[in-house]
Amino acid sequence: MIKSHSSLFLPGHQGLQHPTCPPFFKTVELNLRVFQNFWDVLTKQCLAIPNGGMSDVSNGRFYFSVPPPPPPQPPPQPTDRNLRVLSQLCMQAATPMTSSRSAIMPVTTVTFPDEDSRSLGYKAYHTLINGRCNGSDSSQPRPVCLSFGHSVEGVLQKGPQCGFAALYMGARLWKMDSFSLDRLVNIGQQKGYTIQGELFSAYFMEDLAREFCYSQVVDTAKLCLNVIWECLLQGYLILVPYDSDKNYQPCLKRGHKAHWSLLTGCFIVLKHSCKPFLQNCFEQDLDEPSLFHTDIDEDHIDPEVRKNLVNNIEEIFVYTMQGKSRRPGIWSLRDLFASNQNLIQVSPVRNNETYVIPPNGIENELCGKIVLLRPK
């Protein structure tokens, strides 16, 4: 009986509809039809799965594979308007910053206690300008100066953490209370950028800064000095690696004394002839008529104001913070960039397994590089 009905097991066979078909085979037929429907639905669903689903059904077996996860999203790129127009600033600026000097001319590094930017500008004027004018021809007009910048609270580094300390000062200025110096160092260690707190790559710094702000590495060989004061006036902070000498001033040690500084503002020495222009555009100091102040302007720089400043600049100094002192200093921007562009070797004392040295060397990752920071 079973043998005579063996063909009834074929899917779609109509013989089981015969009214004399035994009940047993009707039950089998029903089960087979249920299975066939299940099989059809399952096949369609599996074949509909992109890059996965059912495979190898030729031998009567089937397997399921989970579709691979989508690729990770790339890190967000800076979208700030001023970051996007940086290249335009470079094109507008005047003579590119290069240094043919074999050594930096001696300059005075001035440090001041924590105070607001106007007090800082006043003391800078009397230290730099009055010091130069003493003993000179009194009939010569005194230069006029423009001062602006952020008032940044100093942070002392722990060990070789100068880069993290400088970055943390920016985080504190922008009220990023969820960050601490230790947390930033831990993030750097997790990313494999540092062991003890050292940072020998501007690109490492750029990535770490994106934890709380927009950041961008810029090659100083392609910049001129005017771009720096324009960025600082628009609210940027700028991280600059350089060789640190005694009193932390810039020097030329070929990278053996590499250190990080944070630029927070500018002190610009201008020709005396532009004083009427400054009186019309900026705030004159109450005690020193040749000193002018302005606030950080995050929106834009008026083209006419920019043109007049560029045409009358004699020298640019920058207000700086670094992790070995809580006090701000003021350095020649030209000398700082000359130091930045001589970072070609890691000191033999530091070039060992206790530090993370980038595979490309600091000549490609640190020399001539700065990192622009902008709050989100």
Secondary structure class of 242 (helix, strand, coil): strand
Summarize pLDDT for 344-364 with one digit per residue, the tens: 999 888 767 789 999 889 999
Report how far residue 296's alpha carbon sits from residue 16's, in angstroms, rounded to the nearest whole number.
Answer: 90
pLDDT tier for residue 252 given thresholds of 50, 70 and 90: very high
Q: Are 244 and 257 in contact (CB under 8 A)?
A: yes
Mean pLDDT of the chain: 76
Closest CA to 206 of 242, 255, 170: 170
Q: Are 269 and 369 in contact (CB under 8 A)?
A: no
Residue 289 or residue 142, greater confidence: 289
Report how far residue 200's alpha carbon sits from residue 356's, in angstroms, rounded to the nearest whole number.
Answer: 7
Residue 305 or residue 23, greater confidence: 305
Structure tokens at 355: 């530090």
The helix or strand, by DSSP H or E, that contains position 53, with its residue range, turns out to be: strand 53-55
- Average of per-residue pLDDT across 323-338: 93
Report how far residue 361's alpha carbon sits from residue 140's, in angstroms, rounded to the nearest whole number.
Answer: 49
Which pLDDT score is estimated for 376?
A: 86
Range of weakest confidence among 9-18, 39-48, 200-209, 361-370? 9-18
Any idea where the domains of the chain sit in the sequence?
A: 3-65, 81-134+141-375
Indicate the angle between helix axes 225-233 and 333-340, nearest 10 degrees.
Answer: 110
pTM of the entire structure? 0.71
- The distance of Cα 374 from the centroid of its chain, to the nearest Å, equals 8
Which pLDDT score is estimated for 123?
A: 86
Q: Which residue type occupies 355?
A: Y
Q: Could you give the percent of the chain with pLDDT greater than 70?
A: 66
Residue 218 or residue 111, greater confidence: 218
Report how far residue 20's alpha carbon sits from residue 92's, in angstroms, rounded to the nearest whole number.
Answer: 98
